[in-house]
Amino acid sequence: MSPRRTFRPVLAGVATIVFLAGAARLSAQGGTPAPRRWFPRVPLFPTATADPMEPRFAGALIHTDILGQRPRERDPFLLDATARSGGEVQAVVSLGGTYPILQWPVGAGWMGIGGQVGSVTRFRIERKSRDEFSSDWMVALPLEAASGPWAARFRIIHRSSHLGDEFLQNNQARRIELGGDGVDLYVARRVGGLSGYAGAEWIFYSETDRSLVDGGRMDNSMAQAGLTGEWPLDPSNPRWNVVAAVDWQSWRRTKWQSTVSGLAGVRFRAGPRYAMLTLVATRGPSAVGEFFRTPETLWGLELTVNP
What is the 3-class SS of 119-141, one letter each residue? EEEEEECCCCCCEEEEEEEEEEE
Q: Which domains does the chain have, with CATH numbers?
A: 3-306 (2.40.230.10)
- Residue 129 buriedness (CB in 10 A; 0-12 / 13-18 / 19+): exposed
Q: Once rounded to an integer, what is the mean pLDDT over residues 212-230?
A: 83
The mean-pLDDT minimum among 59-73, 88-102, 134-148, 194-208 falls in 59-73
Biggest distance spanned by C-alpha atoms of the chain: 73
Q: Once rounded to an integer, what is the mean pLDDT over residues 225-249?
A: 93
Quote the mean pLDDT of the chain.
Answer: 86
Nearest-angstrom CA–CA distance, 93 and 109: 36
Name the residue among 225, 260, 262, 221 with its Cα closest to residue 245: 262
Nearest-angstrom CA–CA distance, 204 and 28: 36
pLDDT band (50, 70, 90) for residue 206 = confident
CA angle 14, 17, 18 (to 5 degrees): 85
- Residue 292 buriedness (CB in 10 A; 0-12 / 13-18 / 19+): buried
142, 153 Cβ separation under 8 angstroms = yes
Residues 6+ apart with CB under 8 A from 104: 21, 24, 28, 34, 36, 37, 110, 111, 112
SS3 211: helix
Name the residue among 218, 288, 242, 258 with its Cα closest to residue 72: 288
Q: Once rounded to an integer, what is the mean pLDDT over residues 284-307?
A: 93
Q: Once rounded to an integer, what is the mean pLDDT over residues 88-111?
A: 94
Q: State residue 298's pLDDT score.
A: 96
Strands (E), 164-236: 179-191, 194-206, 221-234
Nearest-angstrom CA–CA distance, 87 and 148: 46
SS3 47: coil
Is residue 237 scored above 70 in pLDDT?
yes
Nearest-angstrom CA–CA distance, 239 and 258: 35
| 169: Cα separation from own chain's centroid | 29
200, 221 Cβ separation under 8 angstroms = yes
Q: State residue 92's pLDDT score.
A: 97
pTM of the full predicted structure? Answer: 0.85
